[in-house]
Amino acid sequence: MPKMKSHKGSKGRFKVTGTGKLRRRRVGLNHMLGKKTSTRKRRLGSGTTVSKADTKRVRRMLGG
C-alpha cells in the first residue's frame, strides 16, 4: 500500500501549534476593507483555532 499524501492546499491554510492545537486564518481580510472598522480588522487579523468538529478531518488532511 502506498503512503498517504498530505493535502497540499491544507498545508498552507493550517498550522499546528506547539501544544498540538490547529490554527487557521480568519476570513474577510482580503478586500472591501474600507467599510470595516479598524477594531473589526484588528480582530480578524489574529488567527483562531480550528473548531473541535473539524479537527479530526484537518489532521487527516495534514497527514498526521
- Tens of pLDDT along the chain (64 residues) come to 898 899 999 999 999 999 999 999 999 999 999 999 999 999 999 999 999 999 999 999 999 7
Biggest CA–CA distance in the chain, Å, is 53
Count up the domains in the chain and report the number.
1
The grid cell for 43 is 480582530
For 5, how many CA atoms within 13 A lie in the half-sphere containing its CB? 3
* Domain span including residue 22: 8-59
What pLDDT does residue 1 have? 84
pLDDT of residue 64: 73
pLDDT value at residue 20: 95
Q: What CATH number does the domain containing 47 carry?
A: 4.10.410.60
- Does residue 12 sit within a domain? yes
- Say whether 39 sits in a helix, a strand or coil: helix
Residue 28 lies in a domain: yes
